[in-house]
Amino acid sequence: MRPELMVSGGDTSRLYAIAHAARAIPFGLAIAALIGLRRRQGLAPLLAVGAAAQLGDIVIAAATANPGMAFGAALCAAGHLWGLLLLSRAVGPGLTVRDRIDGATPAPPPRVSS
């Protein structure tokens, strides 16, 4: 695969940086908006996709020997994964994100009579 063939001459690094920003900035803003609005619904899938994209960037960085890109992508992936961890702890066992937003509590365990 030779992505430089899709661009007519010149330095492709600037173009690809702008193209990456055009996707990453709205994605990051969507995550930040959900967090700021305290809306958990939809946040887990966005964080998971964000983490997957950053892990893909780490692979690309390793293949192209680009340590700066690898470091930045690793920090971003860690942030997405940390967010998923915090979200899973906030929801708790036996509850869905929707339940937690609605203020539900888990049902007590069934009583066993002896």
In DSSP notation, 50-85 reads HHHHHHHHHHHHHHTT-HHHHHHHHHHHHHHHHHHH
Answer whether 91's CB lies under 8 Å from 97's CB.
yes
Q: At 83, which amino acid appears?
A: G
d(CA 110, CA 36): 38
Residues 38-71: tens digit of each pLDDT = 777 788 888 999 899 999 989 988 998 888 888 9
Answer whether 40's CB lies under 8 Å from 34's CB.
yes
Reported pTM: 0.64
**Which residues are CB-neighbours of 60 under 8 A, at least 6 positions away?**
66, 69
Q: Where are the domains of the chain?
A: 3-100
Average pLDDT estimate for 17-39: 84
Residue 102 has pLDDT above 80, yes or no: no
